[in-house]
Amino acid sequence: MSQRMILINSAVFVAEATLKKRGSCAALFPHQRPLELEIGCGIGDFIVQIAAKRPEHNFLAIDIFNQGCRSTCSRVEDSGLDNIRVMRMEARYLLYHYLGGNSLRALYINCPDPWPKKRHRKRRLVNSEFIDLALYSLEDNGIFNFSTDFTDYGEEVAELLNNDPRLDNLNSTPYTNDLGDYPVSKYMRRFLDLHQPIYLSRYIKKAGLTIAPPTISKGFRIPWPQEDA
């Protein structure tokens, strides 16, 4: 991953070292509230919309790219919201090393990198292993939200979620193209403006399950192994 490193000097940005010191994501916020996570926040337009709708929850927005984190920080600062923090971190790394089990009220993944070439499909973030990790991180009745503009990615993830006995579908079909009041991100907007559908899956984790910490295989972009993090 090569990118120009820009120093992010923002009160809402959390460096990994700070997280290590505080010991928990909950400690990053001024008020203790249920925590929601957006993975791949891009320019931060989705997180600002959803966090404004739910001031009674805290929101963590992460992206692996520095520039995206910086844009998200600016948007969050402009919004004046105090319930959002931004981190530059790989999703599986954060879930595995810092969040742990039963820690998230909701998880959002919008228009993740689609890796359209067949030989690159294994780089896609959401697969059965990722779903195991996400379900471990979600609380009872926590919600897994996934949207994509890519038909085969949308169908594949919807099928995995729909066939998972630990989840209930919040819609009547495995995915829906009707976004309802789900906020629209920059990429979603781009495709909607071209009259292309967005495939949205929203599933709720059943209560009372015991899910063991999953094993994570070494994968694309995962800074692994790094057991001391």
Ligand X SMILES: C[S@@+](CC[C@H](N)C(=O)[O-])C[C@H]1O[C@@H](n2cnc3c(N)ncnc32)[C@H](O)[C@@H]1O
Tell me if 88 sits within 8 A of 63, measured CB to CB: yes
- Window of 10-18, 62-70, 79-87, 165-173 that interacts with ligand X by CB under 6 A: 62-70
| Nearest approach, Cβ of residue 180 and ligand X (Å) | 17
Catalytic residue among 45, 113, 168, 228: 113
Nearer to ligand X, 35 or 39 (CB): 39
Containing 50, the helix (H) or strand (E) segment is helix 45-53
Helix (H, G, I), strand (E, B) or coil at 123: helix
| Nearest approach, Cβ of residue 41 and ligand X (Å) | 6
* Residue 68 touching ligand X (CB under 6 A): yes
CA-to-CA distance for 24 and 99, rounded, in angstroms?
A: 7
**Binding to ligand X in span 77-136, by CB under 6 A:** 90-91, 110-113, 125
What residues contact residue 207 under an 8 Å CB cut-off, 6+ apart?
140, 141
Strands (DSSP E) found in the chain:
35-39, 58-63, 84-88, 104-110, 138-148, 167-169, 199-205
* Residue 187 touching ligand X (CB under 6 A): yes
- Window of 52-60, 69-77, 153-161, 180-188 that interacts with ligand X by CB under 6 A: 180-188
CA-to-CA distance for 136 and 152, rounded, in angstroms?
A: 25
| Nearest approach, Cβ of residue 140 and ligand X (Å) | 25
Angle at 26 between CA 20 and CA 32, to 5 degrees: 155
| Nearest approach, Cβ of residue 90 and ligand X (Å) | 5
Is 140 a catalytic site residue?
Answer: no
Nearer to ligand X, 68 or 154 (CB): 68
Interacting residues toward ligand X by CB under 6 A: 39-40, 42, 62-65, 68, 90-91, 110-113, 125, 185-188, 221
Query: So which residues are the catalytic ones?
Result: 113
